[in-house]
Amino acid sequence: MKDERLKKTRNATSRGGPNPSGRAIPAHEAESTSTGDVASTRSRSPTKTTHPHDRLFKEVFSTVEAQQDLVGMALPAEITSRFRMETVRDAGQETGSGRMDLLLTVETIDDSTEYVYVLLEHKSYRDAKVAVQLLGYVAGIMRKHGTLPMPIIHPVVFYHGAETWTAPTELTGLHQTVESAGTGEPPKEAGRDDANSSRHEPPGGYPVNLRYYLFNLEQIPPEQIAERARARAAAGMIAMKFIKR
């Protein structure tokens, strides 16, 4: 009998009816509570760092020196030349970015921009829709930041998979890409530079876009890695070059 009463109470709550405290819960509040429960459950669920490649990435780049080396190699020189590299630090805890692989902040030498974010997403396999994933992360960082002006965020995909990376490096490229049947991957020709061009652009253009920098470890010789990075980062990146499974 007690179980039956509890079941009725739960049903009433989900419809916006009374709760055990006697107060009627509006439908939108009940929905919000349900959403919060889901979010809470997700936060307790295992992260993707259970994958060996992700664990290795996080371990290698867990120190400030390794993070500095990664930023210096992953972004173009015209960007990093404006950074105070000694100020690189992990910002994952303060932004609650548990699902992101690595989120860093770095101060700049520009008076107009105090600091920027560098968002690094590690991939050991091709992911045609990684730009969509990054767009969600960027939106989350901005929501957490809250105040204006919004921060500048440089998204980077760190890739060391066995297959050639073919995904467009801009979100707009996905509007022009047809997935290969059953693979979820774009055909190789769609991953060329012209995949990010404005061919067949609709009237008014694309209202939403995101561009990321591709740091393709497969294209960097081990000797160059050893020259540009210190021992920890260099050893880790060279190892990731040859670990495919």
Instruction: Give residue 101's pLDDT.
Output: 93
pLDDT, mean over the chain:
77
- Regarding pTM above 0.75, the answer is no
> How many residues does the structure list for the chain?
245
Instruction: Give residue 107's pLDDT.
Output: 95
Number of CB atoms found within 10 A of residue 58's CB: 15
Query: pLDDT by residue (tens digit) across 187-245?
Result: 443 334 444 444 567 788 889 999 999 999 999 999 999 999 999 999 999 999 988 66
- Residue 90's pLDDT band, with cuts at 50, 70 and 90, is very high
The CA–CA distances, whole Å, from 103 to 94, 99, 187, 227 equal: 10, 10, 31, 25
What is the C-alpha separation between 62 and 172, in angstroms, rounded? 33
Query: What is the mean predicted confidence (pLDDT) over 170-186?
Result: 67
What is the C-alpha separation between 233 and 60, in angstroms, rounded? 6
Instruction: Give residue 179's pLDDT.
Output: 57
Instruction: Give residue 199's pLDDT.
Output: 54
Is the Cβ–Cβ distance between 222 and 238 less than 8 Å?
yes
Domain map (residue ranges) of the chain: 2-44, 48-242
Instruction: Give residue 202's pLDDT.
Output: 77
Query: What is the mean predicted confidence (pLDDT) over 81-101?
Result: 84
pLDDT: which is higher, 190 or 11: 11
Query: pLDDT by residue (tens digit) across 108-143?
Result: 998 778 899 999 999 999 999 999 999 999 999 999
Is the Cβ–Cβ distance between 117 and 104 less than 8 Å?
yes
Instruction: Give residue 92's pLDDT.
Output: 82
**pLDDT over 70 percentage in the chain:** 67
What is the C-alpha separation between 90 and 60, in angstroms, rounded? 13
Q: Which two tokens stand for residue 152?
A: 């500048």
**pLDDT over 90 percentage in the chain:** 55
186 has a pLDDT exceeding 70: no
Question: Could you give phi then psi for residue 241, rounded to 5 degrees?
Answer: -60, -35
Lowest mean pLDDT among 43-47, 69-73, 75-79, 223-227: 43-47
16 has a pLDDT exceeding 90: no
Instruction: Give residue 177's pLDDT.
Output: 63
